[in-house]
Amino acid sequence: MKKIIIASLVMLVSVFSFAQEEVAKPELKPNRTYLVGGFGDNWFISAGVGGQVYFRGGLSKGSLFSDHLTPAFDIAIGKWFSPIMGVRLQASGFNAKGLVSTQTDYTSGTNDVDGMYKFGFGYFNLHGDFLFNLHSQFWRYNENRCYEMIPFLGFGLASTLKEGELHDMEFAASIGIINQFRLSPRWDANLELKAMIVNPRFDGVSVANQYLEGTAGITAGVSYKFGKEKEFKEGITPETLAEVENKAAQRENELQNENNNLKNSASDQQRRNDELNKALEQERQKNAMLQKENEDLKNRPQGTTASTAATQGTSAKGVKVFYEIGKTTLDDFNSANLEYLADMIKSSNRKYTITGYADSSTGSQSINEKLANKRAVNVYNLLVDTYGVNKDLLSIESSVVDPEGLAPEMVRMAEVK
């Protein structure tokens, strides 16, 4: 008996391992609705108790309850490989009784029940079953479904028991339906309808033209789910794969747009830097020109009078101050340059003309005329209000001119001469 049980367990574990390898491969493929999980997932144990009858030629004789009905017990361990397919190893049986027309090793008494002899024997059936969940197949898997119908078909060994030992052993088939009712995430209630089919000689009697006999019964019990995972997780379907791919494509487009924006921003920044460098170079040129004029004033001959210097510095060339584009006020550097000019005007007591200029290459004519006039007024106010020049010695003019090949910033100025 122990050898049979051990051999059956080894056989079932081998089936488990083989089936696990076969169904685990599609886990990463996009054609499975649910992931199959690992070997340690989705196990269950179950036990049940009920009643059964042994069916053969004498089933219609005698009383069903007193002459044929016996208790039935079962205990099983199993595993679901997917929401649809599973296997289990079940041990079932207890005893069987009925009526036969001839005496056998299992009959007792006389043929006083409708001319039949009573027989009875203990038996044991160890079988492996393949489980098929109809609801998951046709209505998709739902871990919260209250009822599921699970047909099964299995094969194993059945043996009568005589004085506690295995006596007549036969190959047996099992077939039935498990009606499963959900109690909680781990517990289910089972109502199992099943039959065991064996060779007619199983009960010790061979009857002509009788090819099968066995038991038919019903048991009620519970099953408990255990393992790393007790439910199935939704897998990679074509729909979810398409959704993931769409999200990945959208994210790729977003990143590409961000990259393009960064490139455009970098181009704008480079263009801005180029403009600033150009403006800086223009300022350096203006400063160099002003510094040269200042050096010329400082290095004039010592015997030259203020009147002569004023005449040479202003009437011949004039003193120029420069403005930024669109500006009508001088920066501190150019404003300070007027101090020399103010001293010369006050010393010479001659009249000077302040001419404001604007270049015609940018802006409208009317705006440029206003800019030119305001630049002349700005210099006039600085000389009078800041450096104390007599306003009667100053007059104001303005002009909009074409740079004629010069840089436009060279004519954004005011000249005093």
Which of 185, 215, 236 finishes a domain? 236
Shared domain for 227 and 244, answered yes or no, is no
Averaged pLDDT, 29-34? 52
Q: Is the pLDDT of residue 242 over 70?
A: yes
Which pLDDT score, from 0 to 100, does residue 23 have?
Answer: 43
| Domain at 403, CATH number | 3.30.1330.60
Specify burial of residue 298 (Cβ count, 10 A radius: 0-12, 13-18, 19+). exposed
pLDDT over 60 (residue 354): yes
pLDDT at 32 over 80: no
Q: What percent of the chain has pLDDT over 70?
A: 82
Counted domains in the chain: 3
* Co-location of 357 and 292 in the same domain: no
C-alpha 106: how far from chain center? 68
Q: What is the pLDDT of residue 210?
A: 64
| For range 163-188, the mean pLDDT | 90
- Kindly state whether residues 112 and 191 are assigned to the same domain: yes
Residues 160 and 24 grouped into a single domain: yes
pLDDT at 334: 78
The answer to which of 109-113, 243-247, 341-345 has the lowest mean pLDDT is 109-113
Q: What is the predicted pLDDT for the residue at 218?
A: 97
Both 318 and 278 in a single domain?
Answer: no
Q: Residues 232, 242: one domain?
A: no
Look up residue 48 and give its amino acid. Answer: G
- Averaged over 70-78, what is the pLDDT? 96
CATH of residue 163's domain is: 2.40.160.20
CA distance 233 to 235: 6
Q: Are residues 305 and 224 in the same domain?
A: no
Task: Tell me which of 387 and 300 has the higher pLDDT.
Answer: 387
Residue 200 · residue 168 · CB < 8 Å:
no
pLDDT at 92 over 70: yes
Q: How far apart are CA 267 and CA 153, in angstroms?
A: 74
Q: Can you tell me the mean pLDDT for 307-334?
A: 67
Q: Residue 412's pLDDT band (boundaries 50, 70, 90)?
A: confident
Judgement on whether residues 197 and 316 belong to the same structural domain of the protein: no
**Domain check: are 177 and 322 in the same one?**
no
Mean pLDDT taken over the chain: 81
Q: Based on the fold, state whether residues 148 and 67 are members of the same structural domain.
A: yes
Q: How far is CA 166 from CA 1, 20, 131, 225, 400, in A?
A: 7, 33, 28, 32, 125
Range of the domain at 361: 301-416
Question: Do 380 and 331 share a structural domain?
Answer: yes
Judgement on whether residues 189 and 259 belong to the same structural domain of the protein? no
Res. 323: pLDDT tops 80: yes
- Helix, strand, coil: what percent of the chain each, to 5? 40, 35, 25
pLDDT at position 145: 92
Helix (H) or strand (E) holding 213, with range, is strand 213-226
